[in-house]
Amino acid sequence: MKKDIKIIFHIDLNAFFASCAMIKEPYLKDKAFVVGGNQAMRRGVISTASYPARKLGIHSAMSINDALRIYPKLIVVPLNFNLYQKYSELFFKLLKNYSSIILEGSIDEAYIDMTEASKTKHPLDLAKEIQTNLLNSYGLPCSIGIAPTLFLAKMASDMQKPLGITVLRKKDIVDKLFPLPIKACYGIGKKTSPKLEAIGIHTIGDFTKESFKERILDIMSESSYQSYLDHIMGRSSDTIDPKRYAIPKSISNETTLNYAMDQPEAIFKIIVEMLDVAHERLEKEELVAKTVGIKIKDANFEMMNRGITLSEHTDDYNLFYEAIESLFETHYQNEPVRLVGVFLSSVVQKKDLKMDYNLFTYQELTKREEKIYQIVRSVNEKFPDAVSKGIKKTS
């Protein structure tokens, strides 16, 4: 039976931090500006550059000092993560109107399975509708790639920016993907692409040539080489599993007090109790966190949140305790409070702590799961009584 071809959208919000800055400060529209760093001190690194700034040769990861040398009138806008989080949530909320099968690539990009929705409406019409709604409703421009696999959709969304819609089918790979420079291949980093160029691989098409294989294997492992080939040729994953990384973004615990309390020792004791509960859940679900913070609501019901970001992810109770103790001593001003709480954020699974989630690790996890399943199924077929529901039977 022929497998149905999936229709995957990769939706990438264009210059997201810069777009958010323009929403907040409309005067920035059409201006050359960057987000991140400090203009007065001429220090820091650029997080995002507006498109007019990019035309001047200014780009992300460039130092503010270098950017100001290129264009002394450059406007530098400070980072505003609360603003980005707000518009990211609106972005994903809108996408849920079209499909429930969504994978968050990051705060400003998503993979979405539009196979079912495309049965009643043409994919290009759907893409244009999503693009228009994001721009008109929230002021967020985006580019959309449409393809049968996650990798090809990702590559397609990068082909026309800003506000582009690109279809990349398997039959288009040779004409549209092969001519692109090798550094444009998603997953091949800044360190690897110069090495490939040095051995004569200048385009994605060059990478697929058998004549280059031996030289490529001097640069990367055979498994990596094969993985890139599978991605480029449209043989990689077309499955979006929204639950794969479905872990809480934060764990919090809070309580409303029966009366306004202003005894520091008593208040801190309750905060510690809230930490105990939050930490217990963190350990139970085998998670680690990088940020710890406290919540305090005063008698006028004004909320104060203060947090500390640790140097690395952890589940160490003592580190969390020391952090909330420092936060409480620094920020509590002996005023009466009605609510206190604790939050642990930047949460990831402990087992995945050192894993960089991208399309390649995503596919490798899927392959690993499939391999385990095949082994178990093979054992069950050969020895039907050997394994049953994970319990080894003994005679």
User: What is residue 390's predicted lDDT score, i.e. its pLDDT?
Assistant: 38
- Of 8, 184, 17, 207, nearest in space to 113 by CA: 8
Contact 114, 7 (CB under 8 A): yes
- Of 76, 85, 87, 91, nearest in space to 45 by CA: 76
Q: How many CA atoms lie within 13 A of 110 on its CB side?
A: 24
Strands (E) across 135-283 are located at 142-147, 165-167, 250-261
For 341, which DSSP code?
E
Tokens at residue 307, please? 């947090």
User: What is residue 347's predicted lDDT score, i.e. its pLDDT?
Assistant: 85
What dihedral angle (degrees, nearest 10) is formed by the CA atoms of 182, 188, 192, 198?
Answer: -10
Please give the Cα distance from 38 to 44 (Å, whole number). Answer: 6
Q: How many CA atoms lie within 13 A of 223 on its CB side?
A: 5
Residue 194: phi and psi, rounded to 5, are: -65, -35
Give the Cβ contact number of residue 215 at 10 Å.
Answer: 14
Please give the Cα distance from 168 to 291 (Å, whole number). Answer: 40
Residue 106: phi and psi, rounded to 5, are: -170, -165
Q: Please state the pTM of the whole predicted model.
A: 0.65
Q: How many CA atoms lie within 13 A of 129 on its CB side?
A: 13
The single-letter code of the amino acid at 60 is S
Per-residue pLDDT of the chain (395 residues; tens, 9 = 90+): 456 799 999 999 999 999 999 999 999 999 999 998 766 656 778 889 999 999 999 998 888 999 999 999 999 998 888 898 899 999 999 999 999 999 887 788 999 999 999 999 999 999 999 999 999 999 999 999 999 999 999 999 999 999 999 999 999 999 999 999 999 999 887 789 999 999 999 999 999 999 999 999 999 999 889 999 999 999 998 888 776 555 567 888 888 877 788 888 889 999 999 899 899 988 888 888 889 999 998 877 678 889 888 878 889 999 999 999 999 998 888 888 888 999 998 887 776 554 444 566 555 545 554 555 455 555 555 555 544 333 333 33
Q: Specify whether 109 is catalytic.
A: yes
User: What is residue 129's predicted lDDT score, i.e. its pLDDT?
Assistant: 98
Contact 242, 101 (CB under 8 A): yes
Contact 213, 225 (CB under 8 A): yes
Residue reference for tokens 């409070």: 337
Give the active site residue among 25, 109, 286, 370: 109
User: What is residue 354's predicted lDDT score, i.e. its pLDDT?
Assistant: 46
- Of 377, 361, 371, nearest in space to 237 by CA: 361
User: What is residue 311's predicted lDDT score, i.e. its pLDDT?
Assistant: 78
